[in-house]
């Protein structure tokens, strides 16, 4: 079966190929590409999944998504090379698990999507003579994952805009020490300024065509495809094949959306629990059925500081635009910074395991869900979206210990930074982009 897509804003635009969806990134009228039908895994695959390696699982799922769009051997190679690191499932308590999604090069789960998208996009551009420039604004994590994901990938270069003085030292090192086809622009402004500049660039038809501009945020369906892989891996690694509760620390809802896709593809899932920080637009939506986007507020789990989660639009298509359908599969809880800090402390004390703030939000959400549902024996799997060392300032302050940096981060400290400082103005960015 070849997967085709439609435009979420203009549903009459259908039958769109995977290639078009990935190469264009965003559909007309700021719409999202949504699959007309999701691929299905076979009964046989599920029955033997526990005996398969991570690599075999990743290849099988990629092969289903890319069937008819990419030759099967290429699809498998792309998946293998994208996920060339491990995805351990850690058992903390008899029914509580942590799925560590932070073993990729930038130590956050965004590596899965960014690395897969980079390779798929590069495949589609190969031989067309077309080249693309990926332009992203970042408050830290997305920029580093995207730059690292596309590093050295042919026909594509990456330009990351980040706000001067507002990303952590480690994040800045991750974005500025790669070189090759990656460029880091330090903007004299804040994150919103960076985002505004990127939007202006996309609205400039001449520039967009000239540079082949594309985006790599979770609007691009290519990222979500790769995020379905690890839901299957998690299920395969459970001691007993029982449908688990997946807990997803959520911001833009891309990760949750991928989980819902995995369920619709046939993965046994008991329920989804979304954990948000004080930016609780989605929690409110599930409770009231009303969607009220608002400006984001800063929290300790800053990669989830999102006030207008764009993937809600995709979720709504999966649930036939019906909030009641969504409520049957998904619960959501908002967690304060205070609770988050207390969770990091209590898990460190009880299990000697250090959570990052985003994962801690997930652990709090699971606890609330268990209290409400009274289902204490269902296996719970909290997606751990980042390594605690990425947020070491806040984590070290809570546990009063120094975190050991993983070798990948440690090595960065001695590397040279390549930074292009620019003024916060459209003219400055335009001039700079045309000169790169
Ligand atoms: C991006 C990010 C999230 C939020 O994921 P969404 O797909 O936007 O919901 C959570 N945790 C970390 C560490 C992230 O980088």
> In this predicted model, what pLDDT tens digit does every residue of 54-75 receive, in sequence order?
999 999 999 999 999 999 999 9
Please give the mean pLDDT across all residues of the chain: 94
Q: Which residues, other chains included, contact 362 with Cβ-Cβ below 8 Å and sequence gap of 6+?
A: 247, 248, 249, 273, 275, 382, 383, 384, 385
The answer to whether the beta carbons of residues 125 and 23 sit under 8 Å apart is yes
Rounded Cα gap, residues 86 and 435, in angstroms = 39
How far is C-alpha 423 from the geometric centre of its chain's CA atoms? 29
Q: Can you give the pLDDT at residue 377? A: 85
Sheet with 245-249, strands from edge to edge, namely 89-93, 96-100, 380-384, 245-249, 271-276, 330-334
pLDDT attached to residue 253: 96
pTM greater than 0.85 (yes/no):
yes
Percent of the chain with pLDDT over 90: 82
- Measured in Å, residue 228 CA sits from the centre of ligand 1 at 15
CB 48 within 8 A of CB 27: no
By the 8 A CB rule, do 412 and 177 touch? yes
Instruction: Tell me the chain's radius of gyration from C-alpha atoms.
Output: 21
pLDDT at 50 over 80: yes
Whole-number Å distance, alpha carbon 206 to ligand 1 midpoint, is 33
Please give the Cα distance from 198 to 192 (Å, whole number). 10
The answer to whether 345 touches 316, Cβ cutoff 8 Å, is no
Q: What is the per-residue pLDDT across 207-232, written as a single tens digit (0 to 9) for each?
A: 989 999 998 877 899 999 999 999 99
What percentage of residues in the chain have a pLDDT greater than 70?
100
Distance CA 244, CA 234 (A): 9
Mean pLDDT, range 84-99, rounded to an integer: 97
pLDDT of 347: 98
Quote the CA–CA distance of 1 and 292 in Å, as a whole number: 38
Catalytic residues: 110
* Residue pLDDT, tens place only, 273-285: 999 999 999 999 9
pLDDT for the residue 409:
84
Q: How much is the average pLDDT of 10-32?
A: 93
Neighbour-count burial for 216-248, b at 16+ CB within 10 Å, e otherwise: bbbbbbbbbbbbbbbbbbbbbbbeeeeebbbbb
376 class by beta-carbon count within 10 Å (0-12 exposed, 13-18 middle, 19+ buried): exposed
Q: What is the mean pLDDT of residues 143-164?
A: 94
Beta carbons within 8 Å of 432's beta carbon, 6+ residues apart = 185, 420, 422
Residue 141 confidence (pLDDT) above 90: no
pLDDT in tens, 401-425: 999 888 888 888 889 999 999 999 9
* Overall average pLDDT of the 173-188 stretch: 95
| pLDDT at residue 199 greater than cutoff 90 | no
**Residue whose CB lies within 8 A of the most ligand 1 atoms, among 303, 313, 340, 344, for a mutation test:** 303
Protein residue with its CA nearest to atom 11 in ligand 1: 385
Ligand 1 binding pocket (C-beta < 6 A) is 108, 110, 141, 218, 249-255, 303-304, 358, 385-386
- Closest by CA to 66, choosing from 50, 54, 53, 82, is 82
pLDDT tens-digit series, residues 331-373: 999 999 999 999 999 999 999 999 999 999 999 999 999 999 9
The strand pairing partners of 331, in sequence order, are 273
With vertex at residue 367, the alpha carbon angle to CA 266 and CA 307, rounded to the nearest 5 degrees, is 75
Per-residue pLDDT for 317 more than 90? yes
136 — pLDDT class (breaks 50, 70, 90): very high
Tell which one of 32, 106, 141 to mutate to probe ligand 1, the residue whose CB is within 8 A of the most ligand atoms. Answer: 141
Residue 79: pLDDT band with limits 50, 70, 90:
very high
Q: For residue 252, which atom of ligand 1 is closest to its CA?
A: 8
């Amino acid at each position: 079966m070849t997967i085709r897509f439609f435009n979420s804003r203009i549903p009459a635009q259908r039958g769109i190929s995977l290639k078009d969806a990935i190469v264009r990134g965003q559909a007309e009228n700021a719409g999202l590409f949504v699959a007309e039908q999701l691929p299905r895994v076979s009964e046989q695959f599920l029955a033997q999944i526990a005996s398969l390696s991570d690599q075999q699982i990743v290849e099988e799922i990629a092969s289903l998504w890319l069937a008819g769009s990419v030759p099967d051997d290429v699809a498998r190679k792309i998946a293998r090379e994208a996920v060339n690191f491990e995805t351990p499932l850690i058992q903390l308590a008899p029914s509580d698990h942590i799925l560590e999604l932070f073993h990729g090069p930038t130590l956050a789960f965004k590596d899965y999507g960014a690395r897969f998208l980079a390779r798929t996009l590069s495949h589609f551009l190969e031989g067309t003579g077309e080249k693309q420039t990926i332009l992203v604004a970042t408050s830290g994590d997305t920029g580093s994952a995207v730059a690292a994901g596309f590093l050295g990938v042919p026909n594509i270069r990456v330009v990351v805009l980040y706000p001067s003085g507002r990303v952590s030292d480690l994040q800045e090192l991750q974005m500025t020490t790669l070189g090759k086809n990656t460029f880091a622009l330090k903007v004299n402004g804040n994150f919103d300024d960076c985002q505004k500049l990127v939007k202006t660039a996309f609205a400039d038809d001449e520039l967009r065509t000239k540079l082949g501009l594309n985006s790599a945020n979770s609007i691009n369906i290519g990222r979500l495809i790769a995020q379905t892989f690890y839901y299957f891996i998690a299920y395969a690694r459970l001691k007993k094949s029982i449908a688990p509760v997946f807990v997803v620390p959520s911001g833009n809802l891309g990760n949750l959306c991928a989980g819902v896709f995995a369920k619709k593809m046939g993965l046994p899932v008991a329920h989804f629990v979304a954990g948000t920080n004080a930016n609780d637009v989605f929690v409110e939506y599930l409770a009231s059925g009303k969607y009220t986007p608002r400006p984001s507020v800063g929290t300790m789990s800053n990669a989830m500081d999102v006030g207008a989660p764009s993937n809600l639009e995709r979720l709504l298509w999966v649930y036939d635009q019906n909030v009641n359908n969504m409520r049957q599969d998904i619960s959501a809880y908002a967690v304060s910074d205070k609770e988050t800090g207390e969770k990091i402390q209590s898990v460190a004390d009880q299990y000697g395991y250090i959570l990052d703030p985003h994962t801690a939000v997930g652990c709090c959400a699971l606890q609330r869900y268990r209290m409400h549902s009274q289902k204490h024996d269902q296996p719970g799997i909290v997606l751990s979206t980042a390594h605690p060392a990425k947020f070491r300032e806040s984590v070290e302050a809570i546990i009063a210990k120094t975190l050991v940096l993983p070798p990948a981060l440690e090595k960065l400290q001695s590397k040279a930074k390549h930074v292009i400082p620019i003024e916060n103005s459209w003219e400055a960015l335009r001039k700079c982009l045309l000169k790169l």
